[in-house]
């Protein structure tokens, strides 16, 4: 059997970094979307700033924002 690669050498650091950065990016997005909505941003504004669709932001963040009891702007208020 070939020797398994070291968990620290070669591509291992880079792959671990990619995974860690992805998790941090997700956490940062959660935190900043929450902050933006607390500050009264609309779904469309948040989506535009993130470079994704309004539906994508809605789907990903609505549940947490409702739990956080943030007053969300209605579509006609945008």
Partner 1 sequence: MSRILAARRLAPVLVAWGIGPSVSHQFEIEAKRDGAKAIEAEHMLLALAAGPGGDVAKLLGEAGLDYHRLAAALRDERRRTLAFAGMKVPDTKLVATTELDGSLTFGTSAKAAIRRALVGARHERHRRHLRSTDLLAGILDAELGTVPRALAISGIDRAEMASRAWGFKG
Binding site for partner 1 (CB under 8 A): 4-8, 12-14, 16-17, 20-21, 23-24, 26-28, 30-31, 34, 63-65, 67-68
72: its two tokens: 């969300």
User: Rounded distance, CA 10 to CA 6, Å?
Assistant: 8
Least distance from partner 1 to the Cβ atom of residue 64, Å: 5
Least distance from partner 1 to the Cβ atom of residue 76, Å: 26
9: its two tokens: 């050498």
Compare residues 14 and 76 and give the one whose CB is closer to partner 1: 14
Cα–Cα distances in Å, from 18 out to 15, 22, 53?
5, 6, 24
Least distance from partner 1 to the Cβ atom of residue 10, Å: 11
């Amino acid at each position: 059997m070939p020797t398994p690669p070291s968990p620290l050498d070669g591509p291992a650091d880079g792959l671990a970094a990619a995974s860690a950065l992805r998790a941090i990016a997700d956490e940062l997005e959660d935190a900043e979307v929450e902050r933006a909505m607390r500050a009264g941003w609309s779904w469309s504004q948040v989506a535009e700033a993130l470079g994704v669709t309004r539906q994508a932001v809605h789907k990903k963040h609505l549940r947490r924002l409702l739990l956080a009891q943030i007053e969300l702007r209605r579509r006609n208020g945008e």
